Each structure stands twice: as C-alpha cells, then as structure tokens.
Amino acid sequence: MINRNLLLSCCLIAGLAVSCSQKNFIRKESLCTAVSTGDTVVFGYNRPVSLFQACRDNIQASISQVTDSRCPEDVTCIWAGKVNALLQLNADFSLNLEKDVVIDTVYMGRHYSFSLVDVTPRANSQKAVEPADRKTFVRIVRTKN
C-alpha cells in the first residue's frame, strides 16, 4: 500500500513538474495588426505597403485604381456618389472595395476583413485631383488564425 501511494505521489509530482516547465515554452503571440500603427492602412497611389509583419505574414498590398464619383466638396448634389478602390495583394489577388462595405475573405489560408474607410482629398469643382495626390484609408483585420 505504501509503495502504491509513493508511486502515485511520484507520478503526481512529475506531472506537475512537466506541466510547469512547459509554461516556459508557451510564447504569447504579439498583437497582430496590419501595420505598426494599427489596422487602418494608409496607401499612396501605386505605392506598396508591407502588411502583417508582426504575424510573419508577408503580404505586399497596393491601391492600383480609385474610382470616385462622390459629389465635389464645394457643390450641393442630389446624389452623394460613391468611391471604390482596387486593392492588390501580392500581385496575385485583388479586391474591389467600396466605402463602408466590409468584405470578408480568405487569402493564403487566413481569414481577413477589408473595408474602405475613405479616400482623400475629395474632388473640388475648381481643381481636379491627381491620382498621385490621393490617400486611400483601408481597414484590414486578420479575423482568424
């Protein structure tokens, strides 16, 4: 009986020692955001941005086209219009984003959520906006591992 209790105690202590030592090897993953400033990415026209480097996802993204039919900022319109942007990921995948519409998709085996937040500057009736002058704000979130 003593040998059985001794054996059971040794197994319990060994199990606790192993489970405690394994905690040292569990690495907490750092916060996974699209870029170092958070999940909203600011794109210049045709200027690639590296995404999710903290997650070791090597995604190069760029805005290759913006279609803006919004009412110019200095005009009163009946219809507000809309703005779209073509987001290119690693030159092999593209998404047509529309302002305030969320697109959930799987890319390279991971789940992502994309939303066009804004495109600046707004058109003005007195001056055209050149593509190189535009900034496109896109919210990109990795939703699942």
DSSP codes, 70-127: PPPTTS--SS---EEEEEEETTTEEEEEEBT-EEEEEETTEEEEEEEEEEESPPBTTB
Which neighbouring-strand residues pair with 67?
A: 84
d(CA 134, CA 75): 20
pLDDT band at 37 (very low <50, low <70, confident <90, very high): low
The top-scoring range by mean pLDDT among 14-23, 31-40, 77-86 is 77-86
C-alpha pair distances (Å), 68 with each of 73, 115, 142 = 12, 16, 27
Asked, for residue 126, whether it belongs to a domain, the answer is yes
Asked, for residue 11, whether it belongs to a domain, the answer is no
d(CA 2, CA 107): 60
Q: Report the pLDDT averaged over residues 73-98.
A: 91
Return the DSSP state at 4.
Answer: H
Asked, for residue 57, whether it belongs to a domain, the answer is yes
Q: Read off the tokens for 79.
A: 């219809």
Number of domains in the chain: 1
Asked, for residue 23, whether it belongs to a domain, the answer is no
Asked, for residue 3, whether it belongs to a domain, the answer is no
pLDDT of 18 reads 46
- Structural domain including 119 reads 30-144
- How does the average pLDDT of the chain come out, rounded? 79
pLDDT of residue 23 exceeding 50, the answer is: no
pLDDT of 5 reads 56
pLDDT band at 27 (very low <50, low <70, confident <90, very high): very low
Asked, for residue 93, whether it belongs to a domain, the answer is yes
Asked, for residue 13, whether it belongs to a domain, the answer is no
Asked, for residue 67, whether it belongs to a domain, the answer is yes
